[in-house]
């Protein structure tokens, strides 16, 4: 009889220990989950790493550029989105915000100022993730004619390289750049052979948005 009572007592102790251990594990998991959620919400940077498309602090945002907006401790407002053709973006609480024509810093300041009506001391970070508004064009005897993103400090030679180089039919000494200056179209000469040989490197100018490189 005593053996049966002892066995029953031991069974109850073991069962209680297992239940207590399971409860402790469950509590730890809930605490860890809550901690992770709080950390993500309170993070000073977006949960996902965002790579900037340009490091130029004076870069002016344009239509169709893609930007990442991070509002500290406000994940519901933070988002990544493209700038619409009308130059605006839409954000919760703020509706439409003009983005085109502003630098990332200026846009961040504008959004922060408007958010002060709803959030105390908002901190906003803007990162340009894709540059789609600033383009150049290559036409004529290049292997891949068309529109190309204008990356910072892109030269004529780099642009031609981006288009796959000249075809065997190209008149490499008669290439020119069409550019609009003060409302007038101008032609800037570029001799591909001379630049490749290191002569008259001043022809290898930095391109501007809207430039068209013509390879006859």
| pLDDT 10s digits, 23-47 | 554 444 443 443 333 334 444 444 4
C-alpha closest to that of 165 among 189, 141, 137, 190: 141
In a domain, 47, yes or no: no
pLDDT digits (tens, 9 = 90+) for 48-73: 578 888 888 888 999 999 999 999 99
Q: Which residues lie below 8 Å from residue 203, measured CB to CB, with a gap of 6+?
A: 156, 188, 189, 190, 191, 194, 195
Is residue 104 domain-shared with residue 148, that is, in the same domain? no
Boundary of a domain, candidates 78, 101, 130: 130
Average pLDDT, the chain: 83
State the distance between the two ends of the chain, measured CA to CA, in whole angstroms. 108
Q: What pLDDT is attached to residue 148? A: 92
Query: Is residue 93, in this structure, part of any structural domain at all?
Result: yes
Residue 9 covered by a domain: no
Domain of residue 74, residue span: 66-130
User: Does 87 lie in the same domain as 106?
Assistant: yes
Looking at the 3D structure of the chain, how many domains does it have?
Answer: 2
**Cα separation, 168 vs 70, whole angstroms:** 49
What mean pLDDT is predicted for residues 137-148?
96
Domain boundary among 130, 163, 179: 130
Torsion sign (Cα): 76, 80, 84, 88: positive
- Model pLDDT for residues 123-132, shown as the tens digit of each residue: 999 999 998 8
- The reply to whether 141 and 86 lie within a common domain is no
**In-domain check, residue 39:** no
Q: Examine the pLDDT at 190 and tell me if it is beyond 90.
A: yes
| Residue pair 92/77 in contact by the 8 Å Cβ criterion | yes
């Amino acid at each position: 009889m005593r053996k049966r009572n002892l066995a029953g007592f031991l069974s109850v102790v073991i069962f209680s220990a297992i239940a207590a251990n399971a409860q402790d594990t469950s509590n730890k998991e809930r605490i860890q989950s809550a901690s992770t959620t709080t950390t993500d919400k309170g993070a000073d940077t977006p949960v996902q790493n965002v790579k900037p498309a340009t490091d130029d602090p004076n870069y002016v945002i344009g239509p169709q550029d893609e930007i990442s907006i991070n509002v500290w401790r406000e994940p519901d407002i933070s988002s990544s989105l493209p700038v619409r053709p009308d130059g605006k973006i839409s954000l919760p609480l703020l509706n439409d915000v003009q983005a085109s024509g502003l630098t990332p810093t200026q846009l961040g300041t504008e959004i922060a100022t408007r958010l002060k009506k709803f959030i105390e001391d908002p901190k906003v970070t803007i990162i340009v993730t894709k540059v789609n508004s600033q383009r150049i064009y290559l036409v004529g005897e290049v292997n891949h004619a068309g529109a190309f993103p204008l990356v910072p400090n892109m030269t004529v030679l780099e642009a031609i390289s981006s288009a796959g180089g000249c075809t065997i039919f190209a008149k490499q000494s008669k290439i020119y750049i069409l550019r609009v200056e003060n409302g007038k179209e101008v032609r800037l000469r570029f001799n591909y052979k001379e630049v490749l040989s290191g002569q008259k490197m001043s022809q290898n100018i930095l391109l501007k948005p809207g430039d068209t490189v013509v390879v006859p």
